[in-house]
């Protein structure tokens, strides 16, 4: 069945949606969701775009309650490790600048994903919260992504200079291998395709050296953990960019496996009893096996966490909306602008939710996922950092909601995110392999 099938089946799906939903007006309406999520070690909070005000603010509301009531102590986000590590240090009390000043320093396009008023407000609250709790309970903020090859190399060299100058040679060898490409990952990737002499050996040697140095220090040492993770980023980035130019889906898998491995490293660093929040796009956090991504051989963070940590508890929360506005760009690297998001396409999940609810709502799926809506495959809208509403049909991912998420935040009319500054020219040509519809 699809959501455009026989009217009695559609009516049954509408009735199921209504039976699982509660109106969503303020934070108190999240009580049922907070009760459901609190026991989980990993709570993944998605977004249907990287530029919607309500996705960010409701995600922040859920996170605040889980931090206060559920004892969650770390957040992993779809961002670069070095940038987010600076936020992590600031949240621990280092530095006196405001959250807005800190976020304004983000330079890799698209900066609006993190340099926005909504994230700044949350981080200001989080730093105030951290000032009131013991050190072990302070909430950390970590980047999960794979793009920061050169920034991570710089961080490693600095750390080795301070801890073991004799080991700097391995880092410099990797640096010199990449240096002919002028910090342009595309030049490196294309060079390895045409002349398959990569920097992989130098990167592996660097990773081994940093691991050896870090193993000699206190496993709870934050500086050593930062260096170790930067070495993992360099290794992941080198692999990612070589895979990217092949034009297949493998670079997506390299990236999502790296993000999942990073989540596990953070979990071990913060303690296996710790509880963490993961903020990423629905395409990364909603289980790929419930979409046509699986047929293309693609995996994602939500799927991998469920497979690896079923016993530890993994909860996936999706976000969706019917119409409104969004911050996005027309092409990669261009300045952001406010764009209209049209009404959801007929027959999509968003169309059915609009017909069934008509107001913002919390939808809790429960244990039985066999109903006429939860078990039905239909389109589910996904808007990336590049968006063209004239190509709207390509932004819908065939999805079985009951298998993709454990709950859904439904918003009727959404509005654009509020960037802290206008987008400047990109520092390089790095980009996400997030195909249209994913």
52 shares its domain with 171: no
pLDDT tens, position by position, 316-358: 999 999 999 999 999 988 999 999 999 999 999 999 999 999 9
251 shares its domain with 353: no
224 shares its domain with 350: no
Q: Does a structural domain hold residue 262?
A: no
In the DSSP assignment, the letter for residue 87 is H
240 shares its domain with 288: no
pLDDT tens, position by position, 267-325: 999 999 999 999 999 999 999 999 999 999 999 999 999 999 987 799 999 999 999 99
Number of domains, the chain: 2
Report pLDDT for 5: 62
Q: What is the pTM of this model?
A: 0.93
Rounded distance between C-alpha atoms, residue 129 and residue 144, angstroms: 23
212 shares its domain with 289: no
302 shares its domain with 334: yes
209 shares its domain with 302: no
Q: What DSSP element (H or E) covers 277?
A: strand 276-279
Percentage of the chain surpassing pLDDT 90? 72
Question: Residue 361: which CATH number?
Answer: 3.40.1660.10
Which domain, by its residues, includes 204?
149-256
286 shares its domain with 343: yes
Q: Does a structural domain hold residue 180?
A: yes
30 shares its domain with 64: yes
Q: Does a structural domain hold residue 100?
A: no
Rounded distance between C-alpha atoms, residue 383 and residue 372, angstroms: 26
240 shares its domain with 293: no
Q: Does a structural domain hold residue 93?
A: no
Q: Does a structural domain hold residue 144?
A: no
218 shares its domain with 326: no
Q: Does a structural domain hold residue 175?
A: yes
Q: Does a structural domain hold residue 94?
A: no
Nearest C-alpha neighbor of 398 from the set 323, 294, 297 = 294
pLDDT tens, position by position, 72-109: 999 999 999 999 999 999 999 999 999 999 999 888 89
**Which of these three, 224, 256, 288, is where a domain ends?**
256
Dihedral sign from CA coordinates of 295, 301, 302, 308: positive
295 shares its domain with 398: yes
Contact 347, 9 (CB under 8 A): no
Q: Does a structural domain hold residue 21?
A: yes
């Amino acid at each position: 069945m699809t959501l455009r099938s026989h009217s009695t089946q559609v009516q049954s799906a509408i009735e199921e949606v209504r039976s699982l939903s509660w109106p969503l007006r303020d934070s108190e309406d999240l009580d049922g969701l907070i009760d459901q999520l609190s026991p989980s070690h990993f709570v993944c909070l998605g977004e249907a775009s990287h530029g919607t005000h309500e996705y960010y603010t409701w995600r922040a509301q859920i996170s605040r309650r889980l931090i206060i009531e559920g004892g969650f102590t770390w957040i992993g986000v779809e961002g670069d490790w070095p940038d987010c590590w600076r936020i992590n240090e600031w949240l621990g009390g280092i530095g006196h600048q405001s959250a807005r000043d800190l976020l304004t320093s983000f330079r890799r396009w698209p900066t609006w994903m993190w340099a926005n008023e909504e994230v700044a407000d949350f981080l200001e609250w989080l730093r105030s919260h951290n000032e009131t709790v013991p050190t072990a309970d302070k909430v950390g903020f970590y980047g999960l992504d794979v793009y920061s090859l050169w920034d991570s190399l710089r961080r490693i060299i600095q750390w080795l200079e301070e801890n073991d100058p004799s080991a700097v040679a391995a880092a410099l060898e990797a640096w010199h291998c990449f240096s002919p490409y002028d910090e342009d990952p595309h030049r490196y990737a294309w060079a390895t395709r045409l002349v398959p002499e990569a920097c992989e050996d130098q990167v592996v040697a660097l990773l081994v050296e940093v691991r050896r140095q870090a193993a000699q220090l206190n496993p709870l040492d934050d500086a050593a953990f930062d260096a170790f993770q930067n070495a993992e980023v360099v290794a992941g980035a080198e692999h990612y960019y070589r895979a990217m130019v092949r034009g297949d889906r493998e670079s997506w898998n390299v990236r999502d496996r790296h993000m999942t491995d990073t989540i596990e490293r953070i979990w071990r660093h913060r303690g296996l009893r710790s509880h963490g929040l993961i903020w990423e796009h629905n395409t990364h956090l909603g289980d790929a096996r419930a979409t046509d991504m699986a047929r293309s051989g693609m995996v994602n963070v939500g799927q991998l966490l469920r497979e690896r940590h079923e016993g530890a508890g993994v909860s996936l929360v999706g976000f969706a909306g019917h119409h409104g506005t969004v911050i996005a760009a027309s092409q990669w690297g261009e300045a952001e602008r406010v764009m209209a998001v049209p009404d959801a396409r007929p027959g999509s999940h968003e169309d059915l939710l609009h017909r069934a609810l008509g107001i913002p709502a919390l939808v809790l799926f429960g244990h039985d996922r066999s109903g006429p809506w939860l078990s039905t495959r239909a389109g589910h809208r996904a808007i990336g950092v590049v968006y063209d509403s004239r190509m709207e049909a390509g932004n819908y991912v065939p999805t079985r909601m009951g298998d993709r998420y454990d709950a859904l935040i439904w918003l009727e009319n959404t509005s654009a995110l509020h960037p802290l500054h206008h987008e400047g020219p990109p520092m390089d040509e790095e980009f996400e392999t997030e195909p249209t519809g994913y």
